[in-house]
Amino acid sequence: MTRSRPSTSPQERSYAVIAASFNEMIVRPLVEGATASFEAAGVSGDRLDHSWVPGAFELPLAALAAAETGRYAAVVCLGAVVRGETAHFEYVAGEAARGIMDVGLRTGVPILFGVLTTETIDQAMDRAGGAHGNKGWDAARAALEMVKVLDDLRVGAASPLWEGS
């Protein structure tokens, strides 16, 4: 069955940005980067909804709630999990990643994993607007790309992976 292409471009759709308030000094710049990235791509600020959850572990549930509304073309999840002296890092980082992936597979809505998982706070800051760029910016760009890719796949208009195919 061939579906029709959505009547709006990715830039004309709405997006949710859900951020973990734990490690807010790292996460806030990620949110600012995602917002700036969406706006630089032509998504107006009134098409962006921002929500805060307590920590990275809570991101999947909030992403599911956002995706199930049908209002969002994609959901960007942002957070920072920095390794400490206990196994807590592995549990939180792993379950946040698995949960975020599960939401996307369950709903068919792109759910982007913009959660930093680093050894140190300095490494996280480097990825939240420092020496290694802003991974919030990157996650927003990936959201726009995934919306377009899925739109194309759903109408059978996907382009070849490489020239000559």
pLDDT band at residue 162 under the 50/70/90 scheme: low
What is the pTM assigned to this prediction? Answer: 0.90
Q: Which positions are catalytic? A: 88
pLDDT of residue 164 exceeding 90: no
- Per-residue pLDDT tens over the stretch 33-89: 999 999 999 999 999 999 999 999 999 999 999 999 999 999 999 999 999 877 888
pLDDT of residue 159 exceeding 70: no
Tell me whether residue 2 is exposed, middle or buried, using C-beta atoms within 10 angstroms of its C-beta: 0 to 12, 13 to 18, 19 or more: exposed
108-146 burial string, b = 16+ CB within 10 Å, else e?
Answer: ebbbbbbbbbbeeeebbbbbbbeeeebbbbbbbbbbbeb
Q: Alpha-carbon torsion 82, 35, 18, 136, what sign?
A: negative
pLDDT of residue 92 exceeding 70: yes
Residues of the chain above pLDDT 90, percent:
81
The predicted pLDDT at position 71 comes to 97
The predicted pLDDT at position 90 comes to 86
The predicted pLDDT at position 165 comes to 45
